[in-house]
Amino acid sequence: MTPMIKELPGTSNEGQEAVAERKELILHNDDVNTFDYVIETLMEVCLHEPLQAEQCAMIAHYKGKCGVKSGDLPDILPPAVEMERRGLTVTIEE
């Protein structure tokens, strides 16, 4: 299953030369996975340091979502797919 990719209104590049655009991998709160599991996954998949992973997990819990990685689509699609495979809810946004 491929993570949902959201395109913001007015950001379509129809008729324009394709340009690499930075995307953001967003972790969503799911009320299913434990903090420890989310932190471990962020450390393994996104290569976060323990404190960074803990902060992202807390932000996602209290605010509903948190950006955990940014870059070009080819750079963030593999971690997004792996996080979904591990049962986390993620999207890719511009």
- Domain residues of the chain, as ranges? 22-93
Position 36 pLDDT exceeds 90: yes
Measured CA to CA in angstroms, residue 75 lies from 23, 35, 54, 81 at distances of 9, 25, 22, 11
> Which residues are CB-neighbours of 75 under 8 A, at least 6 positions away?
69
Residue of higher predicted confidence among 67 and 5: 67
At residue 19, the pLDDT reads 53
pLDDT tens, position by position, 20-34: 689 999 999 998 999
pTM (predicted TM-score): 0.79
Options 3.30.450.20, 3.40.50.740, 3.30.1460.30, 3.30.1390.10; CATH for 22-93 is 3.30.1390.10
Tell me the one-letter amino acid at 8: L
Residues 27/65, Cβ–Cβ less than 8 Å: yes
